[in-house]
Structure 1
Amino acid sequence: MQADKTHSREQRRIPKHERLSECSEESTGWILVIPALLLLLLVYAYPILSSFWSSLFAENLGTQLQPVFSGLANYQRMMGDGRFWQAMWNTTIFTVVSVLLELVLGMIIALILHRCPTGSASSAPGGHRRPFPGRNLVRTIAILPWALPTALIGLAWAWIFNDQFGVVNDILLRLGIIEQGINWLGMPNTAMMAAIAADVWKATPFISILLLAGLQSIPTDLYEAHSLDGATPWQNFTLITLPLLMPQILIALLFRFAQAFGIFDLIKVMTGGGPGGATEMVSLYIYATVMRYLDFGYGAALIVVTFLLLVFAVAIAFWGLSKSRAQIN
């Protein structure tokens, strides 16, 4: 009995050369990763730490030439700054609505590009549906809005929603839906709606291409086996497509959330934050605080708080991503 235990321990014992090989591979991995980590710390950590240090000073070139240490006074000021919280609310509404619309439309486009057939299923080899011949061309055209400069898109959509010669008013007038042109960018609710429409038009192709790549990685055997059990297309989508596509969905949401939350150029070109601050985002408020009012200390505090909120949101997204992967595995 003792001999059997000794023999089993010897079988479980890892040879010395294999242990050295594993240690060598791990060390090589760290050697390759450390330079990238140091670069990330230099690029990201230093500006944030520098902003935090600046936020501890009252530094306004409009009223004083030398910075004065003020501790957490800038953060206390922020708590009572109604304009900042209004900008935060505007940013949240813009981000949530635009990203959700982009996800829904991107999913629809991805499913269409992935499953568009020509003819019946029986006409294709093996009984499978064949994609239409121009699918690659459609994919290329679909990504064009994402490749265009955001400033140009803002100018184009500002013209589309122009109250005098815009395309939207012209179409609605011709259809008899309205009797006179609507000042889309001059009213709070419609200005936010116009900005969201422009952002959705630009970012939806990116979401669709990302989800399309995920759809193509799902084995077709899963759908065939599920269909043999009498599953409907909706059941295939909810029980197979959606769970297996969840990592790509979370990555798309994470990427687009960070981009939409920091939106600047599109709003700056289309509305400038107006009317009456109805479309002023946090990024525009920080820009005005630093560049127009020259209040560097308070602007640095705004940057730090915005960064911490983004980190919190990203951490939640990564937690959701890891949880979904664990469920899939």
Structure 2
Amino acid sequence: MDMNFTADSSLAPSRWRKVAYGGMQPGYDDNHTDETFLEDMVMNANVVKRNMLKVMQDSVSISQYLCIVFLVVLVWIYTLRSTLNENSLLLLDISLLGSGFIILVLTEEMLSLKRLWNYILNVSFFTTGLFVLAPIYQTLTRSISSDSIWAVTISLLLLHLFLHDYSGSTIRPSGALKNPNLTSCISLNASIVASVFIASRLPSRVHVFATMLFSLQIFLFAPLVTYCIKKYSFRLHLLFSLGLMAVTLTFVYSLHCLLFVLLVGILIFVNVVCPYWLIRIQEYKFEINGPWDEAKLCFDITD
């Protein structure tokens, strides 16, 4: 009797343990679970609770850049209508370039004299190249109708807005850890091609040079300047954005009332409706984490 009891106890399965890579445990199936299987289940562990005001503040960067692109289109329209002549455009280019450098000097903490000098050299080479290529840009699309030019330009601008990096800039400031991603580079190239198409409809070489310089200053350097302002002071970023929206709405209203209504609707949609939708859909987010997730090994390093 005692010998039978000892044999039965030796054949009894050992206690089941939950291990990541332990292989088959004798006496248990590979998919065995015990009564403690669901004790580690966690619901909505990684769901972030968002604040409506904070989301609206974050969406200001999108509205800011939308207004910047609208201002570029307004300058294009006024130039094609001969409301802005080449001298006014050159004065605008110089003003934007000077104010941009001043903002960079005041807001970038790690901006050294060497880096500032590199900025100046790059802008000089960039400006010289534009002036040399201006005659080519002027005759590039002479055989294409203006309707086709505007259709392609609007499509490229929509692609630019859709792929633009609203959290940073294609040109990285000093100390940036991440390089520009592929989508932001595609967005930049789309805006450059759109600028070339518009510049090719202008009457003179100086017009083409001034318009291309203005467009590329905005699409290349404006995101860097606004990023530095936001990094320096978020309150200053909000004030600058609100002022830019007011200026853009004023000029758009003077151009066409329907465009004004459209822009107001877009700004309300971006700054109010989209944040409200994001907050509401968070209520329906349902996430379950438990032992069935991929195992993550933790190693305790002790002395």
Under a length normalisation based on structure 2, what TM-score does the superposition of the two structures give?
0.26
**TM-score with structure 1 setting the length:** 0.24
Taking CA–CA contacts closer than 8 Å with sequence separation of 6 or more, which of the two structures ends up with the larger relative contact order? 2
Give the structure with the higher percent helix: 1
